[in-house]
Every structure is written in structure tokens, then in C-alpha cells.
């Protein structure tokens, strides 16, 4: 009897999870579907589920825009900023997790508070700083800005993962003669690898999807895929299927990456959740 209840609950939760998953995935599914419609089919009311599929939108988008240039910029900006942020965040998180002071919590809260300010509030100062440094519309400028934007979250995530690791292990390595960098590289990082991997993946996704800074600080040279999508929207004219094709092409790489790394992502995000 008890087994039956458990099975029912299992089935119930599975059904609920699938239902919620389908709801969350539906907009992406509809976008992909729309990308294969003609503009007239895309605006049909009631919406069409069955239609004559066409590759026309993808051909048009590829002819009109240099997709590879935008893609390359996205890879450099998202990848570069994430790696740079990890290089800064790992020692910071180590310091806060294993050598805390009475102000550590305040520093962490302050870092998090920078995420609470609307980005537009600092647009003009940052724009002017990049202008005077000659970094406007450069990938270097964007890598630095995206690194700074995501740094608080990365430090917080790593700090949480590092706190789960017993400090006695690190102390033992020190007693065995490990210097600081060896302690971090050979002892701490292997133990925190799932957490670091999920932090890396999550921030890669955040940096890939970021639209405010990437749109406002780029023009012709460093524009990533967010600018590629923005070029296919228009308040006057039918554009839904072309926009859907552009959006599908923009999110496809990160979706594929997410699909193949979902195990690591889930492992990392639930790291230490169950003791």
C-alpha cells in the first residue's frame, strides 16, 4: 500500500514536472516553428500548427547578415568574460570562504547590491570611460564589462560551493607543505569542480544572453548575436518569421551546450543541497 502511494506520488510529480517543463519550453518551440513559416503564416489568426515549411527565412537572414561575425563576437565576449571572471573569483571566494574576516559578509552583500541597480543608471559613465580608453565597440571592452557585471554572482556561487568543503582538508595539505597556489589548484579546485563547472556554464549562458550592455556598447565591430537579433525587429513591417529564424540561430549554440552539459549543470547547482 505504502509502495503504491509512493508510485502515485512519483507519477504525479513526474507529470507535474513534464507539464511545467512543456510550459517553459513552449515559447522556444513556437519560435522555432515560426521560423519555418512565411510571414503571412506567422501572423495567421488562429495560429497555424500545420503549414508548408520553408527555409526561406534562414536563407534570407544568412544572406543579409554576417552571422559568423556576430557568432564569433558572442563566443569571445561570453567565453572571455567568464574565464576572466573565474580567474578573479576563485581566489576571492577562497579568501572569503577559508579566511573570513568580520567584514566578509558585508563585502559579499555589497557585491550583491551592485546587481540591484538598474544598468541604465550607469550607462553614461561607463560609456564615457570606454570612450576615453578607446574601448568602445571592442571585444576587449565588452569582455571587461561583462566580467565585472557577472563577477558578484560568480563570487557568490563559488563562495557557497567552497563553504561546503571542510577546511581541515586544506589545512592538511598545508601541513604537507603545499604552498597557496598548489593548495588551490591541486586540492580545492578538484573538490569543487562540479560547482566551478556549473558556475562557468551558468555565467556563459548569462553573458551569451546579455542584451543591455552588448547592444549599447557596440556598433559595427564587436556586436554579438544580441545585436544580430535586434536587427530583425521592426515596429512597421512584418518580421516575425525572420526574427524567429534569427533568434533560433542565436540561441542554438548555447542550447546545444546546455543540453550536453545539463548533467554537470544540475550536479553543480544542487552541490551541497542534500547533506
Partner 1 sequence: MKLSSILIGACSVLALGATAQAETITIATVNNGDMIRMQGLTADFTAKNPGIELEWVTLEENILRQRVTTDVATNGGQFDVMTIGTYEVPIWAKQGWLVPLTALQDDPVYDAADILPAIAGGLSVDGTLYAAPFYGESSMVMYRTDLMEKAGLSMPDAPTWDFIADAARKMTDRDEGINGICLRGKAGWGENGAFITAMSNSFGARWFDEEWNAQFDQPEWKATLDFYVGLMNDAGPAGASSNGFNENLALFQQGKCGMWIDATVAASFVTSGDSTVADKVGFALAPDNGLGKRANWLWAWSLAIPSGSQKQDAAAKFVSWATDKAYLELVASKEGWAAVPPGTRTSLYENPEYLAAAPFAKMTLESINAADPTNPTVKPVPYVGVQFVAIPEFQGIANNVGQQFAAALAGTKTVDEALAEAQNITTREMRAAGY
Contacting positions for partner 1 (CB under 8 A): 39-40, 43-45, 64, 123-124, 127-128, 131, 136-137, 215-216, 219-220, 223, 227, 230-239
Question: Min. distance of Cβ 131 from partner 1 in angstroms?
Answer: 5
* Of 15 and 40, CB closest to partner 1: 40
* Of 94 and 240, CB closest to partner 1: 240
Dihedral (Cα; 111, 113, 115, 121), 10-degree rounding: -120
Question: Min. distance of Cβ 123 from partner 1 in angstroms?
Answer: 6
- Rounded CA-CA distance 154/106 in Å is 17
Are 67 and 132 in contact, with CB atoms under 8 Å apart?
no
Furthest CA-CA distance within the chain: 73
Question: Min. distance of Cβ 215 from partner 1 in angstroms?
Answer: 6
- Rounded CA-CA distance 212/115 in Å is 14
Are 149 and 84 in contact, with CB atoms under 8 Å apart?
no
Question: Min. distance of Cβ 147 from partner 1 in angstroms?
Answer: 21
* Of 95 and 216, CB closest to partner 1: 216
* Of 128 and 169, CB closest to partner 1: 128
| C-alpha distances in Å from residue 116, one per residue of 109, 121, 152 | 11, 11, 11
Query: With 0-12 CB in 10 A as exposed, 13-18 as middle and 19+ as buried, what is 123?
Result: middle
* Of 234 and 262, CB closest to partner 1: 234
Query: With 0-12 CB in 10 A as exposed, 13-18 as middle and 19+ as buried, what is 105?
Result: exposed
Question: Min. distance of Cβ 210 from partner 1 in angstroms?
Answer: 14
Question: Min. distance of Cβ 203 from partner 1 in angstroms?
Answer: 24
* Of 14 and 234, CB closest to partner 1: 234
Amino acid at each position: 500500500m505504502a509502495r503504491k502511494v509512493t508510485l502515485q506520488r512519483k507519477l504525479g510529480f513526474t507529470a507535474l514536472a513534464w507539464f511545467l517543463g512543456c510550459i517553459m519550453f513552449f515559447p522556444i518551440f513556437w519560435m522555432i516553428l515560426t521560423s519555418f513559416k512565411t510571414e503571412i503564416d506567422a501572423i495567421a489568426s488562429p495560429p497555424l500548427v500545420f503549414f508548408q515549411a520553408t527555409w526561406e527565412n534562414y536563407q534570407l537572414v544568412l544572406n543579409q547578415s554576417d552571422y559568423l561575425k556576430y557568432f564569433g563576437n558572442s563566443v569571445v565576449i561570453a567565453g572571455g568574460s567568464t574565464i576572466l571572471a573565474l580567474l578573479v573569483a576563485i581566489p576571492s571566494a577562497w579568501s572569503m570562504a577559508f579566511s573570513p574576516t568580520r567584514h566578509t559578509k558585508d563585502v559579499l552583500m555589497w557585491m550583491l547590491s551592485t546587481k540591484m541597480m538598474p544598468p541604465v543608471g550607469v550607462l553614461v559613465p561607463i560609456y564615457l570611460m570606454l570612450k576615453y580608453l578607446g574601448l568602445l565597440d571592442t571585444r576587449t571592452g565588452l569582455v571587461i564589462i561583462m566580467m565585472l557585471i557577472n563577477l558578484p554572482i560568480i563570487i557568490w556561487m563559488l563562495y557557497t560551493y567552497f563553504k561546503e568543503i571542510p577546511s581541515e582538508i586544506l589545512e592538511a595539505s598545508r601541513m604537507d607543505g603545499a604552498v597557496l597556489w598548489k593548495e588551490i589548484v591541486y586540492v580545492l579546485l578538484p573538490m569543487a569542480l562540479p560547482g566551478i563547472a556549473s558556475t562557468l556554464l551558468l555565467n556563459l549562458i548569462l553573458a551569451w544572453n546579455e542584451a543591455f550592455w552588448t547592444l549599447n556598447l557596440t556598433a559595427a565591430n564587436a556586436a554579438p548575436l544580441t545585436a544580430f537579433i535586434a536587427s530583425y525587429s521592426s515596429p512597421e513591417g512584418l518580421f516575425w518569421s525572420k526574427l524567429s529564424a534569427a533568434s533560433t540561430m542565436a540561441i542554438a549554440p548555447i542550447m546545444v551546450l546546455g543540453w550536453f552539459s545539463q548533467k554537470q549543470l544540475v550536479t553543480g547547482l544542487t552541490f551541497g543541497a542534500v547533506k
